[in-house]
Structure 1
């Protein structure tokens, strides 16, 4: 008996689930790797025309989602310090006329004493 093809709705739900699980990794490098990897796998699956191979890819990605969720939980359990690239850059004052001034750090003409 032939198995049914996954619907577009089911495929999109699987994609969103994998992206959500990928974003839940505490580690910056793991998080970005799994997001890129998920997008690449779904791009390859989207161009597949053979129904049997499409179904196999869907089933494999469904199993991979369960593994990804478990791996994300373990990754959060052993979370390390944030990388410098993850920390937001806070602008505290400054006297330049660049981004500091536009973010409220600089003193404009109207605020100077006469």
Structure 2
């Protein structure tokens, strides 16, 4: 049987950061919020895992998902729709309001 070397905690954190960055690249509010929540919950589930085989499998699968997420984000940016009301920024204050 081949010994499985688990990914380092630094590489898992880097993958987490990349997943969040890719999730936030969606122009559509609903997709963006969904993928951010999904990423956080996925990594929260694996947070206390110590089995090297399971960590390695998780890392490899998530790295593949990251590539798909990046491509999907690009397509979503190309065909993004209207901005939702919840995305509107607060109006800037006039100089007379100070």
- TM-score w.r.t. the length of structure 1 is 0.77
| Misfit runs of 4+, over 6 Å | none
Give the CA RMSD over aligned residues: 1.7
Give unmatched runs, 5+ long, in structure 1: 94-102, 107-114
Is the 8 Å Cα contact of residues 91 and 105 (structure 1) preserved in structure 2? Answer: no
Q: Kindly provide the CA deviation profile for residues 10-33 of structure 1, in whole angstroms up to 9, marking residues without a partner as x.
A: 111100000000000000010011
Q: Kindly provide the CA deviation profile for residues 12-59 of structure 1, in whole angstroms up to 9, marking residues without a partner as x.
A: 110000000000000001001100100000011112222211111111
Q: Which has the higher contact order (CA 8 A, sep 6+)?
A: 2
In terms of Rg, which structure is larger? Answer: 1
Mapped to 2, the partners of 1:22 and 1:59 lie a distance apart of 18
Mapped to 2, the partners of 1:45 and 1:92 lie a distance apart of 45
- TM-score w.r.t. the length of structure 2 is 0.89
Structure number having the greater helix percentage: 2
What's the counterpart of residue 81 of structure 1?
82
Q: Tell whether 2:46 aligns with 1:48.
A: no
Give unmatched runs, 5+ long, in structure 2: none
> Following TM superposition, by how much is the alpha carbon of 1:92 offset from its aligned partner in structure 2, in angstroms?
5.9
Q: Kindly provide the CA deviation profile for residues 42-97 of structure 1, in whole angstroms up to 9, marking residues without a partner as x.
A: 0111122222111111111111000100000010010111111101121667xxxx
